[in-house]
Amino acid sequence: MNIQLSEHFTCGKLLRFTFPSIIMMVFSSIYGVVDGIFVSNFAGKTAFAAINLIMPYIMIFGALGIMVGTGGTALVSMIMGTGDKKRANEVFSLLISALVIGGIAMSAVALLLLRPAAILLGAEGEMIDACVSYGRCTLPALTALLLQNAFQSFCVAAEKPNLGLGLTVAAGIANIILDALFVGVFGWGLEGAAVATAISQCVGGILPLVYFALPNKSLLRLCKTKFDGSALLRTCTNGSSELMSNISLSLVSMLYNFQLMEFAGEDGVAAYGVIMYVNFIFVAVFLGYAIGVAPIIGYHYGAENHPELKSLLCKSLMIVGTMAIILTALAELLAAPLSGIFVSYDKSLYDMTLRAFMIYSLSFLLCGFNIFGSSFFTALNNGLISALISFLRTLVFQAAAVMLLPMLLELDGIWYSIIVAELAALVLTAFFTVKYRTRYHYA
């Protein structure tokens, strides 16, 4: 039986409703990891380092889909909470149309700037060509990536979280099979992994577009719409925190790579790549929960159901705290085998990766609260506070830490940077949560 946004949520019901979103995000991260495993083991650490060097550039453009998905879901859910379903569908259709147009334009721009970006990010010699090859194969599918990112949130708002999960699983399976075929069997190396990724993004982005364009049993459907600057602005404001978070993550990744090239060279970039791939899987649990619970919060905020809003906050903090303890313990236990999957062929690189992973994993105790806190304010349609938390957490605090700590701790300082940044962000998130408790009536 489908769980509706308007229901009262116990902890069990919250977990059941958000579970598809959590699995969706985890699975999405896993099939990204498969790319890294195949490239590292079949094409070598130079190709693997090249992907990690150019990936932040690609993800900056892809962040638009996350912004529209999260910000648009908050707005659409709130409108549905007021009972105006026709208006909700019109706004939904406007946002999807804007994504398609914006995706095509950004794809062209990203391709034009690809080689200069690779050089600017520090690529040299063979790595420049590898970065360009990977980008030329993946960027034509940028529009599909934007749609995939957006529909992961909109499927939840449509009370179809299982649809989002199914589409993500389908895209993931396609990517894994094609990686094995293109890289493992045909030996196409870096380009094979890139083509596999592009095709899988089309599966995850185009199929839901067809579903919502046809008659369906969900709360949302693509329909005739018109330009609404206010709705677009509100969506961008609501989702600015997620946009800022993803852009900041990309910029900070570039900064990490610069520092690692100085302190550890190509091996440092490769080690950081392993950590980022595995980190995506663990953090995906928190992101999935945030995506899953946001439409519920937005709906009850729009319906002015203050007791349920308070209940959702309290239960979410308990759930996130439990997840944080479990995931940190799991990450520490699995650090050695996970590092070995990627770089067991190089002993010194493996040792560096293992130590880095053991340190970095401690951040999982903190980051879940910050991710939920930012998402909570997005769902309340307070994009400014949400963006401020994300901006300081993912850019300012991390950038400051990764620049300063290596002066004291050298290479270890780079790995400890994330812990210091998350701790500072947790203090900030707690401050805003307490400050706005009476305005939104969740006290």
User: Which burial class, exposed, middle or buried, applies to 116 when counting CB atoms under 10 A from its CB (0-12, 13-18, 19+)?
Assistant: exposed
> Which pLDDT tens digit goes with each residue over 396-407?
999 999 999 999
Angle of the 383-391 helix axis to the 240-263 helix axis, nearest 10: 0
| pLDDT higher than 90, residue 156 | no
> Which pLDDT tens digit goes with each residue over 223-248?
988 888 888 998 888 777 677 777 77
Q: Is the pTM of this model over 0.75?
A: no
> Which pLDDT tens digit goes with each residue over 411-426?
899 999 999 999 999 9
Higher pLDDT, 237 or 143: 143
Domain boundaries, the chain: 11-435
- Looking at residue 114, its pLDDT comes to 94
> Which pLDDT tens digit goes with each residue over 244-299?
777 777 788 888 888 887 888 778 878 888 888 888 889 999 998 998 898 889 88
Beta-carbon contacts of 417 under 8 Å, excluding residues fewer than 6 positions away, are 256, 398, 401, 402, 405
- Of the segments 40-44, 166-170, 322-326, which one has the largest average pLDDT value? 322-326
Across the range 208-213, mean pLDDT stands at: 93
> Which pLDDT tens digit goes with each residue over 119-128?
887 777 888 8
Separation between Cα atoms, residue 318 and residue 437, nearest integer Å: 18
- Looking at residue 429, its pLDDT comes to 95
Please measure the distance between the N-terminal and C-terminal CA atoms of the chain and give it in whole angstroms: 32
> Which pLDDT tens digit goes with each residue over 65-96?
888 988 888 889 889 888 888 999 999 999 99
Q: Percentage of the chain with pLDDT > 70?
A: 99
- Looking at residue 292, its pLDDT comes to 86
